[in-house]
Amino acid sequence: MPGSPLIISHLLGGLGNQMFQYSAGRALSLSHREQLKLDVSAYSGYRLHQGFELHRVFDCPAGIATGSDMRKVLGWRPANRLRKILSRAGLAKSGRDGRVVEPHPQYWPGLKDAPDNCYIVGYWLSEKYFADVADVIRGDFTFKPPMSGQNAGLADKIVGSTSVSLHIRRGDYATNPETNAAHGLCSLDYYRSAVRYVSEKIERPVFLVFSDDIEWSRRSLAIEFPCQFIDHNNGAESFNDMRLMSLCKHNIIANSTFSWWGAWLNPNPEKIVVAPRAWLADKSLVPDYDQFMKDLIPSTWTLL
């Protein structure tokens, strides 16, 4: 409605990051009883991952912010110029014109105090931002494309067994020196420990391995239980790996928001989720690493 308050969430990154940014904005919009729109302008010319996927994968009830919407919230400032300004360290967390910037990677309760008309910028990597509306978020993240082909058959196998997803994230984590120095790769020791931990707690586990480098995973990972390497969901179909992860009874995740969401969407009330304690290789990237991990990893999950 013309003149009504509006919350705009800035989106950037792969599908997992988009889901966190959407969820923080969605929770804020529900608490304020306002409309949520998404600024996807950063995906113009974006070459990483699959670009903006949220609306293709899920039936999320949030529109795309128009230029008029951006001016309504931000005034005269062009959004792309504002984002560059806000990315500089040391700026205030929020401005009088409605801009709200994540001040650090840990959970920040100040987001709840955002003004009615606001533009939020950040990664918002914690379910604490949306825990109060978790059921709504789960509903929003119902996968939209129908399950078909190999995925349909695999889903039946997953549902009918004591299935455990195991995700290995490599990609730019392995090939880009700067990204590798910041994020690092989960070690094979981590995966061995995680497999041992889960297999000691459940009977007849069946492991399903998902990776953006499935050939490396086949060569490197040895699991002494029934195991299947999922290699058919590539490119625009990659989101189906997250869907299949969410159907598994238990989950072993990588230092990746993609598999974080696969585990979080798993509805099994007795699920075991194992996450890596070494989420970042460079812990100096966050001011309080221990608190960052407490906010990122739900308390019912296990860190190894």
Hey, where are the domains in the chain? 6-140, 149-303
Could you tell me the pTM of the whole model? 0.92
Residue 118 parent element (H or E): strand 118-121
Within 8 A by CB and 6+ apart from 300, the residues are 273
Q: pLDDT tier at 48 (50, 70, 90 boundaries)? A: low
Name the pLDDT band for 89 (thresholds 50, 70, 90).
very low
Which residue type does 106 have? Q
The CATH class of 149-303 is alpha beta
Pull the structure tokens for residue 4. 């009504």
Mean pLDDT over residues 12-40, rounded?
A: 95
**Where on the phi/psi map is residue 138: left (φ > 0), alpha (ψ -120 to 50), or beta?**
alpha
Q: Which residues pair with 86 in a beta bridge?
A: none
Of 120, 124, 163, nearest to 296 (Cα)?
124
At residue 128, the pLDDT reads 98
Locate 293 and state its tokens: 């991990």
pLDDT above 80 for 182: no
Tokens of residue 165, six digits: 């997803």
Region of residue 92 (phi > 0: left; psi between -120 and 50: alpha; otherwise: beta): beta
Give the contacts of 2 (CB within 8 A, at least 6 positions apart): none
Instruction: List pLDDT tens digits, range 231-248.
Output: 999 999 999 999 999 999
Separation of alpha carbons 119 and 100, rounded Å: 6
